[in-house]
Structure formats: C-alpha cells, structure tokens
Amino acid sequence: MPERRLHLQLGIGAVLVAALLLFWAIPTWVSSPSNVRNIVLSPLFWPNTLAALTALIGLSLIATALRLPRAEKAASDVHDRPQAVARLVGAAVVMVVTFWALPRLGLVWTAMLAFAALAFLVKTRHPGWALGSAVLVPLLLYLFFAKVAGVAIPQGEFIRLP
Amino acid sequence: MGLMDSLMAGLSLVGNVEAFLALGLGVLIGVIGGAIPGMSATMAVALTLPFTFAMQPITGILLLLGVYKGGIFGGSIPAILIKTPGTPASSATVLDGYPLAEKGLAGKALGMALWASCTADLISNLALILFAGWLASFALSFGPPEFFTLILFSLTIIAGVSGDSLLRGALSALLGLLLATIGLDLVYGTNRFTFSDPNLMGGLNFIAVLIGLFAIPEILSMVWNPRAHEGQTRSLGDNWVTIKEYLASFKSIVRGSLIGVFLGSIPGIGAAPSAFLSYSEARRKSPNRANFGKGELEGVAASEAGNNGVAGATLIPLLALGVPGDVITAIIMGAFMIHGLQPGPMMFIINVDIIYGLFIGLIVSSVFLFFIGSVAIRAFKFVADIPRGVLFPAVMILCVYGVFAVNNNLFDVGVMFAMGWVGFFFLRFQIPAAPFLIAFILGPLLEDNFRQAMLMSGSSPLILFRGPITWVFWSLTAITVIAIARAGWKAARRRGTPA
C-alpha cells in the first residue's frame, strides 16, 4: 500500500478509536469511585491519557500523510485478490465455528475439523497428508495435554475420549 | 550466599538429565522453527510455552531459552539457502550468505554462521553472568518513581526502533497500553472495559494475546497467499569453513558479539538492528570491504555474531530489572510468571538457585547449539520440504490447545483468534507488533508504579524527579526521543518523504 494512503488510513483510524474511547467507551465502561479527590489517582486517568495520546498520534499520522506525495497505486501481493479475500473470510468462518463448537463437540473433534477445513481452504497439494495429520495431530496433542500435563481437555457433549 | 554456594545450588537444580534434555530439545525446536520460513524464533518460543506448564520451572525456562537460541541461529539457514530469512534477525545474513550459496559455497557460509553464532552466544552468556547480578544489586535501591522512569525509558526505545516509522511504532505501543487497562483497577478495584463480562475482570490472558499476535497472523498470511515462502533451496556444496577462515573473521565476530551484548542489554532494541550494525562495522573495518554484499564470509560472520550476541544480553534487563529486553524475553517473562516467579532484582535474593541454574544452562546451550546446529544444517532440506498446507493448520491447532491449557478457559481461545486478526491487520498496515506486546506487558507496571509514586507523594509529580536515578532515566528518555526523531527525520529527508 502506498505510504500516503497507509498513514492517512491509520491516522483516521487512530483518531476514530480515540474519539470512541473518550466519548463513549471510557464514560460508559470505566467506573471510578465518587470519593476520588485527585484526578491522577482516578481509574479514569490512565485510559483518558492513553486515548488522548492515541488521538495525538492519529493527527500526526494524518499530518504526515498530507505532506507525502501522491503515489501510483501499488501492486497487490497476491495474483488472485478476490479469491484471497474469500479465503480470508473462510478462515474467519473457521475460527468462529471452532470457537462455537469447542464446548459442544469437544477440543479434539473440533480441532480435527478445523485442521481439515483450514488445509483445504488453502488448497493443500498434499490432501492425504493433510487428512492424516488432521486426525493425528489433535490426538497426539490430546495425549500430551490430558495425560502428561494433566489439563482437563473439554470432551464435548457427544463422543468422549478415554 | 557466596558465589560457590550459589553455583552449587544452581548446579543441583540443573544437574539432571531432564534439564539437559529440555535444553537440547529446545535448541532443536528453535533451529527447526527458525529454519522454517514463515515461522520465526518468536513464534517457536510462543508455541513451546504451553508445553512448559507441566515441567519444573527451571526445566521449562531452559526449554524456552534453548528454543530462543536455536531459533536465532536457525533463521540463518533459509537466509543462506533460499534467500529468505527465517527470522528478521537473519536479514543481514542474506546480504553475503546467499551470494556465497550461489557460488556453491553454502556449506562454508552456514559453517561460518554456526561458528560465529556459537562464539557470540558464549560471549553474550558470559556478559549476562557478569552484569545481571551487578545491575540487580543496583536495582534493589529502586522505588516506584525509579521503576516508573525506567519503564518509560524502555517504552520510548521500543516505540522508536521496532519499525521504520516512529509514529506507527508509537501507535502500536499505545494500543498495547490501552489493551492492558482492561480488567479491575489496580488501586480501587473498579471495572475498566470489562463490559460486565467476568472473563475480562482479570484482564486479557497474556499468552492468548501473544500467541494470537505472533502465530495466528502468519497463518492468516498463508491463507491470504498460500504460495509465499516458496523458494529454490541451494545445495550445501563440498566446502566447509576452516579454522583459518574462522580466525580471519574472529575480530569481526568478537566486535559483533560486543555490539550484540550492548544493544541487547538495552530493552527493546533486539537482534535485527544489532546484526546490521555489526555487519556495517565489519564492512567499514575490513580490508575486503569491496567484496561485502557479493559473498564475503566475514559479512556472514559479523551479522550472525551481531544477532546471536543479543540472545544472552536481552536477559540482563529481564533478570536484573524485570523489564524484557525484546519480544522473545517478554514471552519468557510470561513463563516465569506462570511458574510463580517474578523476574527482577528480588529474584537474585529469593531464587538465586534458579538464577545460577539458568546461567549454567545457558553456557551449556552454546555447546548444544554447535552440535545440533551442525546436524540441522544438513537436515534443512527435510525441514524446508514440510508442506505449508499441513504445517500451518497444525500450528493453529497447537495454538488452540496451548492457549486453552494456560487457564483451562475456552474464552482465551476466542481472545487468541481476535488478537490474531489484530495482528494480521498490523501486518497489512505495517504496524510493528513487538511494541504492542511489550507495552501490553509493561503497561500495568508503568501505571502501578506511577500511581504508587503518586500515593507516596500525595500526588506531587516532583517525586518522579526525586533523585539521580530518576534524572538519569529522564535524561536517557529525552536523548532517545531526540535521537529517534532526528534519525527518522534524516531518513525521511534521504527518501524525500516526511518521517
């Protein structure tokens, strides 16, 4: 991405984040006891200071961007941009489904499905290896964490492992 | 406790097969992790961390230190053989390593990288042993105002040197500090950004944040471009580095090691700048300077000495002051905390056996690095051939298990995924992630010490200037900020763009 556009987008983003913090998130989600007499000891002081500094950095990024020359559009780092975006959306879906399925199916079965889904999402050239590993890796990790490290791995509501 | 007693106490901790196995295994994992393009020493340490929970503290920490040291060396293998540095610290090694490989002298370049790495590693470990205790005894006189100014100083360096844009580094550090405010207030115990969710009351889990930030973005990058990191592996060739060649580069190796020790002991600088500085110094002083960049063995030696010289020295501020020297030591600091140990000056009094155990282990790690590194160089082809479409899904599953195992909490897995997208966004927008993580760790310490100082003084800010130590740190902070701003301004002028 050209430097000018990068700085401009980051600067606007930082200012928006700071505004969101200062005008909504901090007043709503940071509570302070009413008897705090000194502002520097208040739980609000630190978040407010950091939000203000974020705004300052955001404005500096915008100012920097405006001084930069307009550049030609940079080439994309992937040759199949629409498919790349689709793959990213796919990865997001895999993560959301994994998080949802973990308490229901259990860690091991969910991990197997997530492994296979991710491997096929990137069109692995070794589907056999991927499927084998999708079964083996979660099982081996289960053996280590459950039997060696003594971690209570979630088993889910359906099939339970010994 | 005298030196001999401390040494014996340390030896009794590490003088067992388990500790040495952990160290050797750590070096092996590190070399493999560093040698796989797309992974890095940081990612290897982060992924190994959950496996240390079931171990004795010293064994677990030695395992991680082994991964750290192996990872920094391992990065040089793909840097030389496929022109792709396995870790950012190995970027300088590409300059001469790959031209040597093109000439059929990859074996020689890798041999020199190994010798230089082991020598620098040893020098760095000795520096740690010599200086950490001294610095810790000095730091015992620190109070909250001194620690506040020290951490502030550390943060200014982190923000300035972790990327090519000061503003992006500062933005990253500020976001890390903001994320660290989530949880119950340190003084009053009131809610801050907990969104009425009990999972957030203790703040975000450090391991979930770091694995999310350093491992998941690499997986997402692979999803974005599955064919990245594919390169032509060069053969090793028949030549190996000779003692004569090693001795010819010895001066550069020692100089690079000392540069590494100096830069590594300052929190936040890290191995990559050290490697480049060592390389440029070697080029400036070498009679073969015209050959640098075209396949000069001394160039490989200098850059590898520079990055490995940092590996022991970054532990100096961690062990002596409780401030991580770089992002990997920040992860190792997490391991200390998980095992109920608080790095810092008091550790030299309360856990002196662990400190000396680590020192002994670190010295041994240099020897392990030499032998394991020699084998790894020859075995690189097999490592490089691991299909990415199988490796990265495995890494994601490893992350899920590891993050869950920290607190037996599925919420942390969600935090890791969310941080993964933050990390991917950082990658796409060229925001360095290291200042974010270090600021996330140092944030509570910074705030805690600031508020303690304010409580001590009845809210008078003058306490932050109460003695020579605070003045030294304020001066260092000011000098650093000015130096960074000047360097950024000069670089921007050279490029014809603003900083």
pLDDT digits (tens, 9 = 90+) for B261-310: 988 888 767 787 888 889 888 888 888 888 888 888 999 999 999 989 98
**Residue B235: pLDDT band with limits 50, 70, 90:** low
Work out the minimum CA distance from B209 to partner chain A, whole angstroms.
Answer: 16
Q: CA–CA separation, B378 vs B380, rounded Å? A: 6
Amino acid B406: pLDDT: 78
Angle at CA of residue A72, ends A71 and A77, nearest 5°: 115
3-state SS, residue B269: coil
Quote helix, strand, coil % in chain B, to nearest 5. 75, 0, 25
Element (H, E) at B256: helix B250-265
Q: What is the pLDDT of residue B499?
A: 45
Q: Do A48 and A26 meet the contact criterion of CB atoms below 8 Å apart?
A: yes
Q: Which of B96, B110, B107, B101 lies closest to B31 in space, CA to CA?
A: B110
Q: What is the pLDDT of residue A20?
A: 95
Partner A, chain B 375-414, Cβ-Cβ below 8 Å? 387-390, 392-394, 396-398, 400-401, 404-405, 408, 410, 413-414
Per-residue pLDDT, averaged over B190-211, amounts to 88
Q: What pLDDT digit, counting tens, does each position of B69-96 carry?
A: 898 888 888 888 877 777 777 888 888 8
Mean pLDDT confidence for A105-111? 94
Say if residue B167 is exposed, middle or buried (CB neighbours under 10 Å; 0-12, 13-18, 19+). Answer: buried
DSSP B195: T
Indicate the residue of B194, B413, B459 with minimum beta-carbon distance to A40: B459
- The secondary element (H helix, E strand) that includes residue B191 is strand B191-192
Mean pLDDT of A109-119: 95
Mean pLDDT score of chain B, rounded to an integer?
A: 85
> What is the arithmetic mean of pLDDT over B147-159?
81
Q: Is B4 exposed, middle or buried (0-12, 13-18, 19+ CB in 10 A)?
A: exposed
The ipTM assigned to this model is: 0.93
- Chain B partners of A123 at a C-beta cutoff of 8 Å? 226, 389
Amino acid at B208: A
Choose from B186, B223, B388, B448 for mutation: most chain A CBs within 10 A: B223
Q: Indicate the residue of A9, A38, A129 with minimum beta-carbon distance to B387.
A: A129
pLDDT of residue B496: 58
| Among candidates A10, A78, A118 on the partner chain, residue whose Cβ is nearest the Cβ of B171 | A10
The rounded percent of chain B whose pLDDT value lies above 90 is: 24
Q: pTM for the whole thing?
A: 0.82
